[in-house]
Structure 1
């Protein structure tokens, strides 16, 4: 028998080294993510709050809520939303009166998700403004949803009334070809930016269809904030 120690093959050494490097990189990535997460979340919250004050200029205070199948509850103090809950924001003016509701909508655009915030007027039962939270649409084309005045006029009083049974919108919000709008629940698309225009309309329709039937039966609770 030979007393020579068994030698480790070069391929095994390579695999072991690569494995060690992968573990170290994984630990670094997780550490950086955990370290930067609070700052990222704070920036997201700030961006959203800016849009709330943009779409509801009379806002003086904003209270986040969760809308569930059984009612609405303040989001403050809750680490996680209830299962299936929808987030919305009750906005109050200087006299502590309910000035409106802000909610997020999102849908796939030309390049990525188009995330917007819309303002809902509880008396008019209409959307009265939008702001963009994030998007990566083509500069000079898709980003016209921020600057095209004719497009923005769609949201001065976009009809989102509920049906008689309060279970869905009376008329689905729909984006139509530029120049063909005939109803107050339609969105007149931007010529040349139809995909982004449709993303805005689709996102608003999906959000309003889910949120408003849960929200409207509990407006009195919002008008008397604790």
Structure 2
């Protein structure tokens, strides 16, 4: 039997990456790692997994070269390996799913579009409005994620605190809200709640990982 050629070797390695992506928990772990470097305990808590299960999923992602690790004392910290490429891969997967999978389209229509029927603001549009000082950028992620990195001059009001902190948002300025990514429900809920209270508010087209992966400026607390 002849040995596999270079194309087959590449396809075999790509298949390992595809297999690593083939679990909802692992996709969610990658979304959280897109916010910044995290230890296993933090990731397990975010995704609602036991430490053992989270560690197993993360090891699969590392074997597929989607994540990398470093030690910090007794803790193992995970991060995306090739951040821009991994974020772009997840974006492409989402586009294919929205285009070809009927179940995804049903969820998009029933949940996401029901809360925000208006076109989101693109990264380019937001960059221009930030330069002209025309908007308030609202980060509705939890504060630990905000500290890891955020859009320039963003105001962090985590979604659960929004009702009690409405006074921090100017009524006479447009608000652009963002969170973890295109399927993160936090920004959709924030947009719906703020519009119901009379704010002029739009949603960023995706989230912090996509902004950072595009090479746009970020800040850290």
TM range (shorter): under 0.3
Quick check: which one's strand share is greater? 1
* Structure-2-length-normalised TM-score: 0.25
Higher relative contact order (CA 8 A, sep 6+): 2
Structure label with greater radius of gyration = 1
